[in-house]
Chain A
């Protein structure tokens, strides 16, 4: 492919691409995102390609592996254009039937359509599915339409039009003004207004400036950025180049964690293609603007997602945050003004240019504009990525889109904002999602992780888990974070093991204050959040653990006992056989009893006890009932009436 020299050439090339693509001929899009690949998408893609070839349809039917559309729970997902018929949980064996019916005869295969668990209705297209219906997918929507390794696919849906517009028709100031007017706030965590950050760098006197993509997504359970990096890398790249133009930077960096190998591959591929087309390099589209892009792989430290640690790491030093009280947009990478934004923030930039700042600002709440992608995980029916307008209530996200809590359990809390976010309880479910709203509720937006917890989750254990994560990920430079978290983790572990003492909560609060007020970087300053928010909303759980040695959620191993209800046990021997430590005494027609001394509380007996008996239960904080006498344990032969 030859280089595109001018905006007109780009436009002409796009038209040529579209003229070669018949919008009415079928196109099979198979999600090749990490979730679907894990459930077998690679085989499905292979099967489609082979079948289409075998049937001699290769000339008229396009088959492609695409980015992730977000409905990971139901993967592998296949969407067939032009009718947008959506199939879920597709296996390689289903491919022949899909080609036979849908491709050749345009008839949907009923059994592969999504069935609404509430209404029982079949959904033919994506937009018929409740999971998608309430979303507003401005950023994610293109993932399923394009082969992320093919720049032509991105161009065909209007890609790089924003860049061409910016270079040909707008001054750097106008671009900056548009981003400011859109009120776009950073999607990485703190929600700093992007326009203000850009303006600071733009106005700095230093002629050398940088733009950086923070793609070091490390929150447990979060994969928003991954889906974009893998599925639509050009959208981020286009945003980055536009940002470079607006602030006067000629070099851009992608800082991608190396645990995302496909993201690294796709970004590198996208950069190579964009360079070949002349969309990166010298004199882009004859504008006189030069821009280079480099990819740097993070070596696995969570703290490198913190902006100053990321820049230190980019410089080739140990990834520790800087102690300086100066903003990176004035003195950042190699002490030059540097604008660092998150993947999703950059991906929003072309949308703002194309649709206008007013369009963007019309979505969302007063202080939080646009849409936000959340990764909805945990005890939720529809695990996946959801993109919603800011201001939607947590309840709508969890119940309307997420389909609520599985297995008839009750909702308990949702953890937002990553490991250093907080837990929001049921009584706050009407809270609209927005940067300030979540912060006021003791949590934060973070980069968009949303972990849903049901009634079986112990909130003390949740706090312990996240503090443990942060203790491991602390860089160790400053005392309040390194030592404070070490002690907090120790105290929380003791509490979950029934070794909590009077005064522990006060000590934890003191350590929290020290970490929040005195830590060097945002990791330490926000690290106590999991403790502080669970204490705020679930103090009685902490008190039960400490004062009564009781875990109300029946979750903390050291505080619970498993018992077999003699009235319900049918002496079926299943639990006794499965018990890994032979702690269950019993026999045929002899009611089983758990030896509490031997029991390791693994829960196997509860899991395997047939649901028609439900004889195994958990206890916490109450005495173990005395088992029946040997004689009473013998079950006499059942009468026929039973």
Chain B
């Protein structure tokens, strides 16, 4: 694999081709916030909170660090007024769903995000997809999936598979940035084995 040289927050770094900005940043101890990222899972690019600025050939663009593959001679800024503004809005949008999620509350502190910026939709799920993807990619059970689309999208256990697999696994539970997943499981369990 060829070596890529670039700059991140002013620091010159070398990386393998194919690595993402996030992977290199984590290796270098540079913090980039994430919500939907998990090292065992394929990059998802859903929460967009890991957005960073990349300067390439004289022009600057915004990309998400969890997906963008590093390139020679780019200059990455993990924070800027614009990046911070967008992260703040994203966190505020998610706080409308899960105002007490520890992961969100912590990010809200860093970026000055307010809980009451938007009308509450307390669905608790922030659609990071960690449970769904972990179950499909790592556990390979497909016991939980997304149903419906867009603003109607929800996570849902398949009762048949869940009744068979979930009791002995539950590996997705600690991944959930809110406590919603567990609640859904308990609900599904009560439906499938009353």
Task: Report the minimal beta-carbon distance from A177 to chain B, rounded to whole angstroms.
Answer: 27
Cα(A519)–Cα(B51), bound, Å: 10
CB-contact partner of A520 in B45, B49, B90, B153, under 8 A = B45
Let me know if B33 is at the binding interface, CB within 8 A.
no
Chain A residues contacting B47 (CB-CB under 8 Å) are 478-479
Chain A residues contacting B117 (CB-CB under 8 Å) are 507
Let me know if B121 is at the binding interface, CB within 8 A.
yes
Q: Scoring B residues 50 to 88 as 1 if CB is less than 8 Å from chain A, else 0, what string do you get?
A: 010000000000111001110000000000001001100
Let me know if A475 is at the binding interface, CB within 8 A.
yes
Chain A residues contacting B186 (CB-CB under 8 Å) are none
Contact B121 A323, beta carbon cutoff 8 Å: no
Cα(A348)–Cα(B61), bound, Å: 34
Task: Report the minimal beta-carbon distance from A505 to chain B, rounded to whole angstroms.
Answer: 15
Let me know if B31 is at the binding interface, CB within 8 A.
no
Contact A324 B150, beta carbon cutoff 8 Å: no
Partner-binding segment picked from A146-154, A208-216, A482-490:
A482-490
Chain A's closest residue to B151 (CB) is A486
Central interface residue in B51, B117, B149, B153, by most chain A CB within 10 Å: B149
Contact B69 A325, beta carbon cutoff 8 Å: yes
Cα(A490)–Cα(B96), bound, Å: 13
Task: Report the minimal beta-carbon distance from A73 to chain B, rounded to whole angstroms.
Answer: 34
What is the interface of chain B mostly: helix, strand, loop, or mixed? loop
Chain A's closest residue to B68 (CB) is A325
Chain B residues contacting A323 (CB-CB under 8 Å) are 43-46, 64, 67
Let me know if B113 is at the binding interface, CB within 8 A.
no
Chain B's closest residue to A473 (CB) is B150
Chain A residues contacting B86 (CB-CB under 8 Å) are 480, 513-514, 517-518
Cα(A518)–Cα(B150), bound, Å: 17
Chain B's closest residue to A485 (CB) is B151
Chain A's closest residue to B67 (CB) is A323
Contact B150 A475, beta carbon cutoff 8 Å: yes
Let me know if A496 is at the binding interface, CB within 8 A.
no
Cα(A168)–Cα(B151), bound, Å: 53
Residues of B126-153 whose CB lies within 8 A of A? 126-127, 146, 148-153
Let me know if A510 is at the binding interface, CB within 8 A.
yes
Residues of B28-54 whose CB lies within 8 A of A? 43-49, 51
Cα(A34)–Cα(B117), bound, Å: 47
Contact A517 B62, beta carbon cutoff 8 Å: yes
Chain A residues contacting B44 (CB-CB under 8 Å) are 323, 477
Q: Scoring A residues 463 to 494 as 1 if CB is less than 8 Å from chain B, else 0, what string do you get?
A: 00000000111111111101111110010000
Let me know if A339 is at the binding interface, CB within 8 A.
no
CB-contact partner of A486 in B43, B90, B121, under 8 A = B121
Contact A475 B149, beta carbon cutoff 8 Å: yes
Chain A's closest residue to B121 (CB) is A486
Contact A518 B153, beta carbon cutoff 8 Å: no
Residues of B12-35 whose CB lies within 8 A of A? none
CB-contact partner of B46 in A471, A478, A484, A513, under 8 A = A478
Contact A480 B94, beta carbon cutoff 8 Å: no
Contact A519 B150, beta carbon cutoff 8 Å: no
Chain A residues contacting B68 (CB-CB under 8 Å) are 325
Task: Report the minimal beta-carbon distance from A323 to chain B, rounded to whole angstroms.
Answer: 3
Contact A301 B93, beta carbon cutoff 8 Å: no
Smallest CB-CB A-B distances: 8 pairs: A323-B45, A483-B93, A476-B153, A476-B150, A474-B150, A514-B89, A518-B48, A323-B67
Q: 14 pairs across A/B with beta carbons < 8 Å?
A: A323-B43, A323-B64, A476-B148, A476-B149, A476-B150, A478-B46, A479-B46, A479-B48, A479-B90, A479-B126, A490-B119, A513-B85, A517-B82, A518-B62
Q: What residues make up the interface of B, taking CB atoms closer than 8 Å to A? A: 43-49, 51, 62-64, 67-69, 82, 85-86, 89-90, 93-94, 96-97, 117-119, 121, 126-127, 146, 148-153
